[in-house]
Amino acid sequence: MADFGNIFSALPSKGLAEERVTSLLHTPHLRIERIISTGQASPVDQWYDQEWDEWVILLRGGARLLFEGAAEAQSLRPGDFLNIPAHRRHRVVWTDPEQATVWLAVHYR
């Protein structure tokens, strides 16, 4: 964890084998992460079911999230944000394979 940095530093020029998650701030009730995706998606049978609420903003790239029970995925482009309540089951169905997708995720209680 660093006290100073740039959210767009050290972005990969090529695809990553898996998403890169960097902790930017962590306290007992708050966790802020930078997530870099390069075409990754959740396995078809895997759902995130998190203990914490999560507010996320897409800063670069593109993504689609599917919430359990939804008819179609929610598309995200730079500047789009959403709040995901704890235990709202969801998964990432697509991230842009042509460029790094940069997320800022704020997990809170």
CATH number at residue 73: 2.60.120.10
Q: What is the mean pLDDT of residues 86-95?
A: 98
The pTM of this model reads: 0.92
pLDDT of residue 3: 81
DSSP state of 48: B
Consecutive H or E run containing 83: strand 81-84
Q: Is residue 10 assigned to a domain? A: no
Count the domains in the chain.
1
Distances (CA, A) of 34 to 65, 68, 70, 71: 17, 24, 26, 28
pLDDT of residue 76: 98
Q: What is the mean pLDDT of residues 68-96?
A: 98
pLDDT digit string (tens) for 16-54? 999 999 999 999 999 999 999 999 999 999 999 999 999
Q: Is residue 50 assigned to a domain? A: yes
